[in-house]
Amino acid sequence: MVGTDGRSEVRVPSIANWKLYDSAAEGLREYWYPVAQSAAIGRRPTHVKLCGQDIVLVRDSRLFALEDRCPHRCVPFSGGGTPAVAKRDFAGHLTCRYHGWVFELESGRLAAALTDGPDSPIVGKVHVRTYPVQERCGMVWLWPGEGEPSVPVEADIPEELLAADARVYSRSSPRRGNWRYATENGFDESHAKYLHRDSIWAWFRKIPSFNTMTLFIEPDGKWLSRGKSDIHFQQDYPGLGRWPHYHRLKVMKHPSSMKSSATSVRLPGILRVPYPGWSIFEWYVPVDARTHQYVQVNARWTNSLAARLRWWAYYTFLIRNVQHRFLNNQDAWMIGIMPDSHPERFFRPDASITAWRRLVETTARDFHGIVEATAAMAN
């Protein structure tokens, strides 16, 4: 149980005390991450960066992921911003454009060095690293850790999204800022009550000023949730006066004013926000220490054709425009202007952030490896 009552002032240990979390600037590696839309990856080698690693995706008989670097002279297969360097001379293989080294997609093994002839003695002696890759929910999932995945991809996708009746729309965009700031912003108890107050989403909704927060782990042991009680609206602040001022058009209930709506977070950095009848899931995928990929998945559960049509229209016209453009862009704005490293001074609602950090510190898969590596470096 990592929860707190949310009403005692939080004295946060400096970030140096979060050994694992502090060392994970480029992300936690022993997890599956969504790195691309399935429909976007075809026969053309495509570059993605995940946890600081350059990776090339290419579709053949199935989807493959390889280290984006020919071991001969180190040119990137993807071209590194120039046209793709890898060619597809043989099915199931990738050829480096520079000298004709042919790699088997399945194993990463050098299958031929064309310009050294069929008897080239280097064949079979060189390998390119391959990455485990899967496709689910219309997206490509990649395992950036060393060796074989310790869990199947389903272990890292919220099971709601894998349900047969899930109707899913997803979008993705690159964003400035470390993935941890983005995750913390997502689960942050208080920012929605101020930052998003003037978003279009809130024009007709009364956003509360504050509430009591309860933090708890869901029965599945994965999600950390924060519940609300004692929801307050207009208040008198000593020396300042009443706040906020609601105009008369604010007649709708805002999700953050509903006790039933509990926002949740889980490793390696996934947010879940339930709305009436549908939910948003957000991934903050680590690209490198200064950049992350924001992946938004919107889901509704239904098999009825009429409901699916309404959901399509609701997503296409309302969510995609209003939610993403205005509300999520406010988050991206703040995450993008937070300095790379800085002191921090927490207040009571930040108990949500410290609970999240504690969750990472105590349950992350690669906990021991990273902390031992950190300790070794310190000695």
- What's the rounded Cα separation, in Å, for the pair 250 and 253? 8
Q: Which is nearer to its own copies, 44 or 167 (CB)?
A: 44
Q: How many angstroms from the chain centroid is the CA of residue 376?
A: 29
Binding segment for its own copies (CB under 8 A), chosen from 28-36, 115-123, 137-145, 215-223, is 115-123
In the set 333, 362, 368, 372, which binds its own copies (CB under 8 A)? 333
In the set 13, 147, 221, 339, which binds its own copies (CB under 8 A)? 339
**Could you tell me the CA-to-CA distances from 234 to 205, 211, 349 in Å, in that order?**
14, 12, 18
Q: Which is nearer to its own copies, 44 or 136 (CB)?
A: 44
The reply to whether 255 sits near its own copies by the rule CB under 8 A is no
Residue 261, number of CB atoms within 10 A of its CB: 16
Closest approach of Cβ 113 to its own copies, in Å?
A: 5
Binding segment for its own copies (CB under 8 A), chosen from 40-48, 69-77, 220-228, 296-304, is 69-77
In the set 12, 195, 322, 371, which binds its own copies (CB under 8 A)? 195
Let me know how long the chain is: 379
Q: Are 234 and 283 in contact (CB under 8 A)?
A: no
The reply to whether 343 sits near its own copies by the rule CB under 8 A is yes
Binding segment for its own copies (CB under 8 A), chosen from 29-37, 99-107, 159-167, 279-287, is 99-107
The reply to whether 75 sits near its own copies by the rule CB under 8 A is yes
The reply to whether 102 sits near its own copies by the rule CB under 8 A is yes
Q: Which is nearer to its own copies, 166 or 338 (CB)?
A: 338
In the set 13, 147, 221, 238, which binds its own copies (CB under 8 A)? 238
The reply to whether 204 sits near its own copies by the rule CB under 8 A is no
Residue with the two structure tokens 């941890």: 180
**Under DSSP, is residue 42 helix (H, G, I), strand (E, B) or coil?**
coil
Closest approach of Cβ 151 to its own copies, in Å?
A: 32
The reply to whether 106 sits near its own copies by the rule CB under 8 A is no
At 288, which amino acid appears?
Answer: D
Site string for its own copies, 43-62 (x = CB under 8 A): --------------------
Q: Which is nearer to its own copies, 256 or 298 (CB)?
A: 256
- Say which residues have a Cβ less than 8 Å from residue 147's Cβ, sequence separation at least 6: none
Instruction: Give the pair of three-digit tokens for residue 323.
Output: 């939610």
Write the DSSP symbol of residue 259: T
For helices 329-337 and 179-187, the axis angle rounded to 10 degrees is 130
In the set 17, 40, 43, 73, which binds its own copies (CB under 8 A)? 73
For its own copies (CB under 8 A), the number of binding residues is 69
- What's the rounded Cα separation, in Å, for the pair 183 and 366? 18
For helices 351-363 and 179-187, the axis angle rounded to 10 degrees is 130
Instruction: Give the pair of three-digit tokens for residue 142.
Output: 């990649």
Which parts of this chain interact with its own copies (CB under 8 A)?
A: 9, 69, 71-76, 79-82, 85, 89-90, 93, 95, 97-102, 111-118, 120-123, 126, 188-191, 193-195, 209-210, 232, 235-241, 243-244, 333-334, 336-339, 342-349
